[in-house]
Amino acid sequence: MRSVKKRSAPTIFVDPAVFKSYDIRGTVPDQLNADVARLIGRGFAAEIEKQNIVVGRDMRTHSEELTDALTEGLLESGCSVTDIGMVSTDALYFAVGHLGADGGVMVTASHNPPEYNGFKMCRENAEPLSGTEGLARIQDSIELDDFLLERGRGSVEKKNILDVFVDHALTFVDVEKIKPFKVVIDAGNGMGGVVLPRVFDRIPATHVPLFFEPDGTFPNHPANPIDPNNLKALKKAVKSEKADFGVAFDGDADRMFLMDEQGEQLGGDMAMLLVIKSMLKKNPGATILYNLICSNAVPELIEREGGNALRTPVGHAIIKPMMKKENALFGGEHSGHFYFRDNWYADSGLIAMLIAMESLSEAEKPVSELIAGLNPYFRSGEINVKVRNIPKTLDKIVAEYASQRPDYTDGVTVTFDDWWFNARPSNTEPLLRLNVEAQSAELLEEKTATLLKVVKGRRKAAAKKK
């Protein structure tokens, strides 16, 4: 039962900026420290109002200290805590569902630099908390010192769930059908290095490990595979090892990216094509969700394979509830997040990798050749532009392309017969994110340049000069 009395403001300051759209995240120790983590534990207990909580952490240098403090806050609130130790984020989601827990907290800052840390939170059945669904109330609880009334001190039980998690992930594929691929995997000194050896002990494929030693200082490169600069070692190894393909995981190993045998990085939506093809073969007519940044190749493949394609805004806090409402089999994002109905609608980079491997095994084609046959388009990738006034910039874009009836589902999407673009604000930074797709490389270059002139305020000046 929650208290109802408004109490005095706490003596410990918690920077409101750490409360993001999808998680709590900030720098250590100025924004996040043991005192703040303890209060977050108490705030989470007040929001959940139930007692059985799973807690996991990544390999960051301060994750253990923050986990201990978070756990203390939960215990003070009377929660029973299951500590699953150092795990990937998708293993934490699995544990919450598998153990029938009331909620879970993963201590991680995902792909952020080493000075960052944070908390990804979920309710029972791995249902995520977000800014509008829980995180704002946790912030209010902390600011008002409004926590659960005393109900006795909770207890802690330690449990190892990684082997059971791997068992679960392997149920998504026919292990015997996976070919003896040679795969180079870059774990980025993140949590993939803890989980993946257990997987490759169980499947016919072999792996060449890069940076599997967990190290929160990230001595080799940032654990952010969406940035091509962080994939140079993987590209080199794929070529030198003559590997069938490469795989990269982010720091907490919930996102997965593929690289073809030629060392070319594939976007998250291209990896989706492999997963969708395999899943619809086993589940004809199933509903598949994709976010609006994904290539047109995604809905086109879903429809060709007899599935039901549903377009969504960006973000797991939106996609997971929508999947549940639509009983969707699978959902995916361009950012490398892949969601599975039979995984409590939670995302898993590991499950996505296994299904992609099964799909490649059945195709009997190199990755580059298979993707080329499924994808006729050219894409810019995500272009991040710093702008002073994001709403004003979006208004300029709308004015420029008003005749095309812009779609405002998530930012602004404008569609032409032979190209389209989306412009949307970042949830965490003063950035405008642009994605452009066209039917030819020349058209992509031309339209991207024009759009950037509009965004940067150079369109009118250029026109006058001409």
How far, in Å, CA of 378 to CA of 109, rounded?
32
* Catalytic site residue from 77, 110, 130, 359: 110
| Contacts (Cβ under 8 Å, ≥6 apart) of 92 | 54, 56, 84, 104, 105, 106, 120
Concatenating the DSSP letter of every residue in 214-252 gives: --TT-SSS-S-TTSGGGGHHHHHHHHHTT-SEEEEE-TT
Please give the distance of CA 361 from its chain centroid, rounded to a whole number: 26
Quote the strand ranges of 252-376, DSSP E. 256-259, 287-291, 308-312, 330-332, 338-340
Concatenating the DSSP letter of every residue in 84-106 gives: EEE--HHHHHHHHHHTT-SEEEE
Q: What element of type H or E holds 413?
A: strand 412-415
Quote the strand ranges of 275-337, DSSP E. 287-291, 308-312, 330-332
Strand order through the sheet with 182-186: 206-210, 182-186, 245-249, 256-259
Q: Is 110 a catalytic residue?
A: yes
Scan for tokens 């995902």, then name that residue: 110
How far, in Å, CA of 113 to CA of 93, rounded?
23
The two beta strands, 245-249 and 287-291, are: unpaired
Paired tokens of 245: 């393909």
Concatenating the DSSP letter of every residue in 68-85 gives: HHHHHHHHHTT-EEEEEE
* Residue 309 three-state SS: strand
CB 275 within 8 A of CB 301: no
| Contacts (Cβ under 8 Å, ≥6 apart) of 373 | 365
Quote the strand ranges of 69-217, DSSP E. 80-86, 103-107, 116-123, 156-158, 182-186, 206-210
Would you call the peptide bond into 29 cis, given omega within 30 degrees of 0 as the criterion? yes
Residues taking part in catalysis = 110
